[in-house]
């Protein structure tokens, strides 16, 4: 089996995804959740560039990746602001303790 | 011109709904005025539209590849039902000015009434199955909102939810029929379905046909879905008139009439339609015999009369069914609105507490009697002509057992109609604690107009039939002028048989009116109050759905970790499936 650099990137993407999903499964702290989501989204960004390279539309992949980065930054900012508000109003960042909105 | 008028009959009520939604409840005078103005404008637009009826598609707006085109076709059937919805709807709105005086939240009330009228016009005018479904669901939503208008009354809320759930069952039938049509013919256009029904594989066509039958039965409260309509009586009475006469329940009959030419070739379909109509007409007439609630008795009679229309379609009497729909809309609106005047005046719906009201409210008594005679089918009121026409077609083209059943239904109709009138307006007053006052002027206006309609709409039979004949290329029917129709009805033996049965029904009531009036038929009472067990069945279905929903609620833990676990599990399952099939 000859070595293809694209494969190495793909393996990296999968590893990042695995780390992100594992983090989502076990994390209960809201701030950490935002961090874990960032890891997941970075994996997606790399995957987008990779897919663009692989299919010959490198420009398309890169532009979508840039869009995702912008959107994701906004998500992170809003999520962190929410986390601060939750901490102020509820007094904790533990997810299992703030599920009072459950219907 | 036609396109503008179509825009008016749908757009004016919806614009009114939008404006009334934003009005403040602090100013009821403005709300009444706006609602009356918009509904009457829509009524006039719908009357004008009658003169522009044609088989041509008047509006065609492309909506993209998937949704097809939003088309409106003002053919005879559509404009007639639009006129019924808008004109009788506007009379119900006029009536509401007196009836809803002093009620809170009029903005919500009038918004949904106007939305309802516009949606009904859109439903019948639509030339595309998909958009017909869209309007169909809006009418279901409005009926739910209006039946539950008194939303602090648990019975009203339960009645609304019941109506919503049952009509949704029908909506599924309509949607699946529309999707099958799209899958086989590649279009949602109704005219394409009527034209090319023969090219659809027989088993799929049967699926569409019976799906539409379920949809129609649920919407028109026919057997076995007849239980929602009596429970819908918790609504304010003008809403009952609106649902029973102008909108909603007519949609089911319309659906069957519209697609009759396409489905008549499906084996067993016409017979099923006949049986649904027959069973509905009979069992609800039976339930009306013992009802003690004035509005419930009227509701049962609506289901029964709708049964006559469905039966007429089943035996091929397309014109007879639509003619009866027109007559029924007028006289049932009259009956409901005069019942509303009585209920408004006495504060009760229990007929056992009324009695002798005729002296205090002579005007309401007179118009109620007029409507009752039309319902019973006595000449020369409009109900007589259309019912005789249905029975004549049934005798000529339908199975004889069904005809005998319908004849029996006509006798029972006469019986319960007289019983209702007698209990409410005649005899001596049974409850002296009732403070009765006569109807207000807005009430009298709409009652008077409907009474005139009850006396005269049968004169329109000839032009109505001619319009249907001219604009419906796929329906085979013969054209008759009103005069020829009158001659035909009076020369047919079926008329005299039916009249005899009607008189028999009236006579039997007259002989046993002491027992019948007291509401003492305890033996049948329980049977009919429980709708022969169908009410129980419906309750079980509803409670099972609720239990299932509660059980599903447990899976919503609200914990992020569990949700991610679920997402990953689903992702894994999809991956495995893809690798497996690759």
Q: Check residue B233 and report its DSSP letter.
A: G
Please give the Cα distance from A36 to B411 (Å, whole number).
76
Instruction: Return the CA Rg of chain A.
Output: 17
* DSSP string across B478-530: ----HHHHHHHHHH-HHHHHHHHHHHHHHHHHHHTHHHHHTT--HHHHHHHHT
Asked whether residue A99 is domain-assigned, the answer is no
Q: Which chain A positions have a beta carbon within 8 Å of B560's beta carbon?
A: 24, 33, 95
The answer to whether residues B397 and B325 touch, using CB atoms and an 8 Å cutoff, is no
For residue A96, the chain B residues in CB contact (below 8 A) are 559
Alpha carbon B203 to its chain centroid, in Å, reads: 30
Do A96 and B565 count as a contact with CB atoms less than 8 A apart? no
**Are B559 and A103 an interchain contact pair (Cβ–Cβ within 8 Å)?**
no
* Chain A residues close to B555, C-beta within 8 Å: none
Q: Is the peptide bond before B380 cis (omega within 30 degrees of 0)?
A: yes
A65 within domain boundaries:
yes
Separation in Å, CA of A63 to nearest CA in chain B: 27
Q: Which of B556, B560, B565 faces A95 most closely, judged by CB atoms? A: B560
Respond yes or no on whether the N-terminal peptide bond of residue B224 is cis (omega within 30° of 0): yes
Chain B interface mutation, best of A43, A96, A97, highest count of B Cβ atoms under 10 Å? A96
Chain B touched by A97 (CB under 8 Å)? no
Overall pTM > 0.90: no
Determine the residue among B550, B554, B555, B561 to mutate to test chain A binding: the one whose Cβ has the most chain A Cβ atoms within 10 Å. Answer: B561
> Residue A70's domain is classified under what CATH number?
1.10.287.3510
Task: Find the chain B residues whose C-beta atoms sit closer than 8 A to any C-beta of A.
Answer: 556-561, 564-565, 568
Residue in chain A lying closest to B568 (CA) = A21
Partner-chain contact B560 A24, CB within 8 Å: yes
Q: Provide the 3-class DSSP secondary structure of residue B265.
A: coil
SS3 annotation, B165-197: HHHHHHHHHHHHHHHHHHHHHCCCEHHHHHHHH
Number of Cβ atoms within 10 Å of the Cβ of B366: 14
Please state the φ and ψ torsions of residue B60, each to the nearest 5 degrees: -140, 100
Whether residue A88 lies within 8 A of chain B, CB to CB, comes out as: no
The answer for residues whose C-beta is within 8 angstroms of residue B20's C-beta and 6 or more apart is B31, B34, B35, B38, B107, B110, B111, B114
The total domain count for chain A is 1
Domain boundaries of chain B, sorted by first residue: 2-529, 545-581
Q: State the residue range of the domain holding A9.
A: 5-94
The verdict on residue A56 lying in a domain is yes
C-beta atoms of B564 and A24 within 8 A: yes
CB contacts < 8 A, A to B, total 25
**In sequence order, what are the beta bridge partners of B126?**
B72
Interface mutation vs chain B, best among A24, A43, A83, A101, most B CBs within 10 Å = A24
Report long-range pairs for B461-464 (Cβ below 8 Å, ≥24 apart): B461/B323, B461/B385, B461/B485, B464/B76, B464/B80, B464/B322, B464/B323, B464/B326
A50 is a domain residue: yes
Q: Kindly give the confidence (pLDDT) of every residue in chain B, 582 residues in length, as a single tens digit, with 9 standing for 90 and above.
A: 788 888 888 888 899 888 888 887 778 888 888 888 888 898 888 888 888 888 778 788 887 777 778 888 888 888 888 888 888 888 888 888 888 877 778 888 888 889 999 999 889 888 888 888 999 999 988 888 888 888 888 888 888 888 888 888 888 888 988 888 888 888 888 888 888 877 888 888 888 888 888 888 888 888 778 778 877 888 888 888 888 877 788 888 888 888 888 888 888 888 888 888 888 888 888 888 777 788 888 888 888 888 888 888 888 888 888 888 888 888 888 888 888 888 888 777 777 777 777 777 888 888 888 888 888 887 778 888 888 888 888 888 878 888 888 888 888 888 888 888 888 877 776 666 666 777 777 788 888 888 888 888 777 777 777 777 777 777 777 667 777 777 777 777 777 777 787 787 777 777 776 665 555 554 555 555 555 666 677 777 778 877 888 888 877 777 777 888 888 899 899 999 999 887
CB burial readout B299-317, b (16+ within 10 A) else e: bbbbbbbbbbbbbbbbbbb
């Amino acid at each position: 089996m000859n070595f293809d650099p694209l494969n190495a990137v793909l393996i990296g993407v999968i590893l990042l995804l695995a780390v992100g999903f594992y983090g989502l499964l076990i994390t209960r702290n809201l701030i950490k959740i935002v961090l874990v989501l960032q890891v997941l989204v970075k994996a997606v960004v790399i995957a987008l560039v990779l897919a663009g390279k692989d299919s010959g539309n490198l420009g398309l992949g890169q532009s979508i990746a840039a869009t995702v980065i912008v959107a994701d930054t906004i998500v992170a900012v809003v999520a962190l602001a929410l986390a601060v508000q939750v901490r102020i109003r509820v007094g904790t960042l533990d997810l299992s303790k703030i599920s009072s909105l459950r219907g | 011109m036609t396109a503008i008028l179509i825009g008016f009959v749908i757009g004016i009520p919806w614009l009114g709904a939008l404006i009334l939604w934003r009005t403040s409840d602090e100013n009821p005078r403005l709300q009444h005025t706006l609602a009356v103005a918009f509904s009457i404008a829509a009524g006039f637009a719908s009357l004008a539209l009658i003169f522009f009826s044609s088989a041509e598609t008047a509006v065609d707006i492309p909506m993209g590849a998937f949704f097809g085109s939003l088309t409106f076709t003002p053919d005879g059937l559509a404009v007639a039902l639009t006129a019924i919805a808008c004109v009788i709807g506007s009379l119900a709105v006029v009536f509401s000015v007196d009836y809803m005086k002093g009620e809170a939240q009029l903005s919500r009330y009038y918004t949904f009434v106007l939305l309802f009228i516009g949606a009904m016009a859109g439903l019948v005018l639509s030339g595309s199955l998909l958009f017909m479904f869209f309007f169909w669901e809006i009418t279901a939503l409005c009926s739910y909102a209006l039946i539950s208008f008194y939303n602090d009354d648990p019975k009203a809320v339960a009645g609304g939810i019941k109506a919503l759930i049952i009509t949704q069952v029908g909506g599924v039938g309509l949607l699946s029929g529309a999707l099958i049509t799209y899958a086989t013919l590649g279009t949602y256009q109704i005219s394409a379905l009527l034209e090319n029904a023969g090219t659809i594989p027989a088993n799929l066509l049967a699926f569409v046909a019976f799906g539409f039958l379920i949809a129609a039965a649920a919407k028109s409260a026919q057997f076995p879905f007849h239980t929602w309509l009596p429970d819908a009586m918790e609504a304010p009475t003008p809403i009952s008139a609106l649902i029973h006469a102008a909108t909603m329940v007519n949609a089911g009959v319309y659906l069957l009439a519209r697609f009759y030419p396409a489905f008549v070739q499906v084996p067993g379909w016409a017979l099923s339609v006949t049986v649904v109509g027959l069973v509905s007409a009979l069992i609800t007439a039976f339930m009306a015999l013992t009802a003690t609630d004035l509005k419930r008795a009227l509701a049962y009679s609506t289901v029964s009369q709708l049964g006559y229309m469905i039966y007429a379609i089943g035996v091929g009497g397309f014109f007879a069914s639509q003619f009866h729909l027109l007559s029924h809309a007028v006289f049932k609106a009259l009956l409901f609105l005069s019942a509303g005047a009585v209920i408004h005046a006495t504060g009760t719906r229990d007929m056992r507490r009324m009695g002798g009201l005729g002296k205090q409210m002579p005007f309401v008594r007179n118009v109620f009697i007029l409507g009752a005679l039309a319902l019973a089918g006595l000449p020369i009121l409009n109900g007589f002509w259309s019912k005789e026409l249905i029975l004549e077609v049934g005798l000529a083209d339908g199975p004889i057992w069904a005809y005998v059943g319908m004849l029996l239904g006509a006798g029972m109709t006469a019986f319960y109609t007289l019983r209702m009138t007698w209990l409410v307006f005649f005899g001596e007053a049974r409850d002296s604690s009732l403070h009765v006052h006569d109807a207000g002027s807005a009430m009298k206006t709409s009652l008077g107009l409907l009474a005139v309609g009850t006396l005269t709409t049968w004169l329109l039979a000839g032009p109505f039939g001619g319009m249907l004949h001219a604009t419906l290329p796929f329906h085979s029917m013969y054209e008759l002028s009103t005069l020829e129709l009158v001659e035909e009805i009076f020369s047919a033996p079926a008329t005299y048989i039916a009249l005899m049965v009607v008189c028999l029904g009236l006579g039997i009531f007259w002989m046993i009116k002491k027992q019948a009036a007291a509401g003492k038929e305890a033996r049948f009472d329980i049977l009919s109050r429980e709708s022969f067990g169908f009410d129980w069945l419906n309750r079980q279905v509803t409670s099972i759905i609720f239990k299932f929903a509660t059980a599903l609620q447990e899976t919503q833990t609200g914990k992020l970790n569990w949700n991610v676990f679920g997402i990953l599990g689903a992702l894994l399952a999809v991956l495995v499936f893809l690798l497996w099939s690759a």
